[in-house]
Chain A
């Protein structure tokens, strides 16, 4: 009533706009017209305290106040005429600064409005003063609330909050009784809303939350009339929802919420109360359909509106707690109950839940979100919107599954199963049944048994029994749907991928070995195990491979003969007994094209049911395993538990590991490859490696091919420094390859032996790996099938390469003294020393000295070590007498090179000779001015004269003065010139 009045009907200020300039010629007329208008406004306000103001819209810019005499005069006159104070007259010049003037006007109006509300507050306060606590308790609340409300209108939020708080406390001081409980709660809720809103506005969210908590704690127990308990729940729900809305709004305006304190919790709680309301309503409002709505409607009032919020329409304005008219009261309650019956509770709950979901999503609560979605799903289920329910439940199911919360998963699955039953959704029904029968389900045995029976019925194309606790009407409808499904032919094959859930059949496929030779049949086992309470039959088990050609060999079908399945069970082959592991062994011959390839099980299909009824294909991707099996495998691997011994033909399920792929490798070769050689290899020699291949096969080995040479994958430099050839007689050069591939050798008869020499030239020292690879084709028979197998054997050998010899070179004088430099034109000796480092004897075929142009030989350069055989550690030396003409180059002169032609000393003549070139060192040549040459006899006798002649040779172009003195040693007596001065002339 009055709030709307003050909000929308009673103005605080009425402004009359009037076009009038100060220098208006017809001032008098205009003034009176304006005054009339103001009067009209006043009259229509009917004595309310509403302020009136006049704004004159003028075309001219006003002069500064006080200067315009006419203006002030006329203003006063106008005020008088209109009965206004000077403060309520304004001028709005219609000029350039319009916006500025408007803002000023706005502030002025605001002030007036505030004054108005201030007087209103004063008025209410003065009323309050006459009140007394005992008799006017209700009015106290009313007035306090009014004050707060006007303060709010005055935009004085602090005072408004203060007054609301007082009002709130006053509400709770009221004496509560069943009859006025609704009114009290309505008021409390209203004031609480106002307080919380203002708290959020003041950016004190904690105050808001505290107030709300207090409010809830105070009101939680105030249920009121037991027959209308749903009203209380509805009210509680509304409180939480309203607070959630306020909180959310505050967040939109910049407030930050946290994970544990966000609007989601309030929406969630609101949803809980809505659920409670629904329960209460279903309990209290279960009237027969024969109960008709009372007439006249007790909820109708004469005016169509209530005088006071929260009062019963049939009991308005009655303050007494006694029920004056119990009959009327009864009718009222009945009508409310009947009205409640029409409320769509589920819709309300779902809306609140989805609000909460949106909030929790924002505040990183994925599990809370899932939980609420489960509740939404359940609510949809109650609301009979099964499709939506199923969609939601299906969405969250995987989260509970992956986190391993089996109890929760089972409960969700149970609801989902009901939904799928009621909609007669075959595939979903089957899927949920499969999982509810599985090991992740915590259902009791009898429940599982019931579900399994239903599943078997479905597989036989019959209708299943209804799920328990379903709405009877819905069950009727669904039974019809199921009947339709049964009569409907076709589309009765369902493929269900199992890796996303935990079905009651587990599967593990395992190749017996990680690799199989192509001439041996590939074998693998498929283990199946059922967790359901009763044995279940299946009609077919088939396995698919990455090479689909094998699929046909790996099928177990009902129609198959017993001999096709290796292991028999007493229950028959096509039956899975709960708790027992069944093993199926398969065997097939791999194709020769698949040698070197991987054979992988891409899927295992287990077909339940039959083509005639319904067919369910359980499809395991890879070698089996479902959503839970990897975790289980991990646990099993960690476990130290001893497993009890089982009979031989049974296995522990946990100890089985999936092996979904195997390699097909070539047949084991039945030939021998031997290598004969004399290591180490010597640098640059044609090293002979004799390959002996002997066949031990029973049949002819066809198309034998030999690949020999440096093993690929070693250092790239080795490839360049290694050459391989079949012909050892002639030396090969760099252009020869390092690996000779596929040398055809022809066929090998059983027992035949074949020898092939291979020559290798290694240019550098070091170890090398050589590969000899022999391949051939052979026919074999596997499992009655003739196949052509490619076999190969390879041998690798590491050969060390060493230098055959070390060559040392030195320069000595003609007197065999060591020289570190030689003198121009003076003969000197070059000595070479070949030290054999080879473990095998070497023959030096010949040596040759190739001099550089700057050197000249003194005599014939012929080899002295021709055909010398060197054993290990022996050395061969020779020397050459050389002379070097004078040169200007100070750093050294190239001497030339030394070529040694050698070979391994071997009885075989054909070993080629290797020439090793050794570059001789540079030598420093020095020119000397004077060469002294002593001519000494080779021996002397005691007490006989020893004639010594010294030759002095001037090596320059210049004449030189020389002074010669001879210093005898103590062992000699001296005769002849001891000292002389002389001149030597130039040699030329």
Chain B
């Protein structure tokens, strides 16, 4: 059983999309995702501007807590993805996480390609929902 909360965020750091399974204790995951932005910010600023093009989008494990692992991913346009998984879930290794992020990123790009989507709005997309659902199903 894994708890997975995910959020895409813009530069202004408000959540575009956030979802967690199971839904109880959701608030706690919101807080976890929010606090993880500290580390994301720090990592982005540490990377500097020089290597914007070649830099790795996947930030890796942001910080370990007693019960959860928090991973981060930042697109070139500084949209942040955060994933929180149960630390007891050993099936998820770095590679799996990385490919999950890539999937998320692709799906997000699809949303951005939608001419009716307004960058910065909260995401209400069935395709994105389905993708996230299937990903969570896999993990759990």
**Which A residues are closer than 8 A to B by beta carbons?**
216, 259-260, 265, 269, 272, 364-368, 371, 374, 400, 403-405, 407-408, 411, 631, 634-635, 638-641
Contacts and interface: CB of A to CB of B under 8 A. Distances in A.
B66 A408 contact: no
Given A364-B42, A411-B27, A404 B12 contact: yes
B38 interface: yes
Interface string B23-63: 00011001100110111001000000000000000000011
B38 A635 contact: no
A839 to B, nearest CB: 61
Interface string B1-38: 00000000000111100100000001100110011011
Given A405-B30, A407-B26, 9 more contacts: A216-B66, A272-B66, A367-B34, A367-B35, A403-B34, A404-B13, A404-B15, A640-B115, A640-B116
A368 B26 CA distance: 17
Contact of B30 (A265, A407, A641): A407
A648 B118 CA distance: 27
Contacts of A400: 34
Interface centre among A260, A407, A639 (most CB of B within 10 A): A260
Given A404-B15, A405-B30, A407-B30, A367 B38 contact: yes
Nearest to B61: A260
A514 B65 CA distance: 56
Nearest to B40: A367
A407 B17 CA distance: 12
B118 A641 contact: yes
Contacts of A367: 34-35, 37-38
Contacts of A631: 12
Contacts of A403: 12-14, 34
Nearest to B37: A367
A216 B66 CA distance: 10
Given A371-B35, A635-B118, A259 B42 contact: yes
Nearest to A268: B65
Contacts of B38: 259, 364-368
B6 to A, nearest CB: 15
Nearest to B18: A407
The 4 lowest CB-CB distance pairs between A and B, nearest first, are: A404-B14, A365-B38, A260-B63, A368-B35
A365 B15 CA distance: 18
B121 to A, nearest CB: 6
Given A260-B63, A403-B12, A403-B14, A638 B34 contact: no
B119 A638 contact: yes
Contacts of B14: 403-405
Interface in B44-89: 62-63, 65-66
A640 B118 contact: yes
Contacts of B120: 634-635, 638
Nearest to A374: B31
28 contacts: A259-B38, A259-B39, A260-B62, A260-B63, A269-B66, A364-B42, A365-B35, A365-B38, A366-B38, A367-B38, A371-B35, A400-B34, A403-B12, A404-B12, A404-B13, A404-B14, A405-B15, A405-B34, A407-B18, A407-B27, A408-B27, A408-B31, A411-B27, A635-B118, A635-B120, A638-B119, A639-B118, A640-B115
Contacts of A639: 118, 121
Nearest to B7: A405
B13 A408 contact: no
Nearest to A273: B66
Nearest to A634: B120
Given A403-B13, A638-B118, A638-B120, A371 B34 contact: yes
Nearest to B12: A404
A639 B63 CA distance: 36
Interface residues of B, number: 25
A630 to B, nearest CB: 11
Contacts of A260: 39, 62-63
A641 B13 contact: no
Contacts of B66: 216, 269, 272
A640 B116 CA distance: 7
A543 B66 CA distance: 55
A430 to B, nearest CB: 25
Interface string B93-136: 00000000000000000000001101111000000000000000
A469 to B, nearest CB: 15
A265 B68 CA distance: 13
A707 to B, nearest CB: 53
B34 A641 contact: no
Nearest to A261: B63
Contacts of B116: 640-641
B121 A408 contact: no
Contacts of A365: 35, 38-39
A800 B61 CA distance: 75
B39 A408 contact: no
A306 to B, nearest CB: 31
A634 B66 CA distance: 40
A438 to B, nearest CB: 16
A405 B122 CA distance: 12
A639 B35 CA distance: 30
Nearest to B31: A371
A486 B25 CA distance: 39
Contacts of B34: 367, 371, 400, 403, 405, 408
Contacts of B62: 260
A558 to B, nearest CB: 39
Nearest to A216: B66
A302 B37 CA distance: 56
A88 B14 CA distance: 75
A259 B35 CA distance: 12
A259 B30 CA distance: 20
B40 to A, nearest CB: 10
A247 to B, nearest CB: 15
Contacts of B119: 638
Nearest to B15: A405
Contacts of B12: 403-404, 631
A175 to B, nearest CB: 26
A638 B15 CA distance: 18
Contacts of B13: 403-404
Nearest to B121: A635
A272 B28 CA distance: 12
A929 B105 CA distance: 103
Contacts of B118: 635, 638-641
A141 to B, nearest CB: 27
Contacts of A216: 66
Contacts of A405: 14-15, 30, 34
Nearest to B119: A638
A634 B31 CA distance: 26
A86 to B, nearest CB: 60
Contacts of A265: 63, 65
A364 B38 CA distance: 7
Nearest to A628: B14
Contacts of A411: 27
A556 to B, nearest CB: 35
Contacts of B115: 640
A287 to B, nearest CB: 29
A634 B120 CA distance: 10
- Which among B30, B38, B116 has the greatest number of chain A C-beta atoms within 10 A? B38
Contacts of B31: 371, 374, 408
A290 to B, nearest CB: 36
B84 to A, nearest CB: 14
A455 to B, nearest CB: 24
Contacts of B39: 259-260, 365
A365 B37 CA distance: 9
B74 to A, nearest CB: 16
A814 to B, nearest CB: 84
A94 B15 CA distance: 77
From A400, A403, A638, residue with most partner B Cβ within 10 Å: A403
Nearest to B10: A404
A400 B34 CA distance: 9
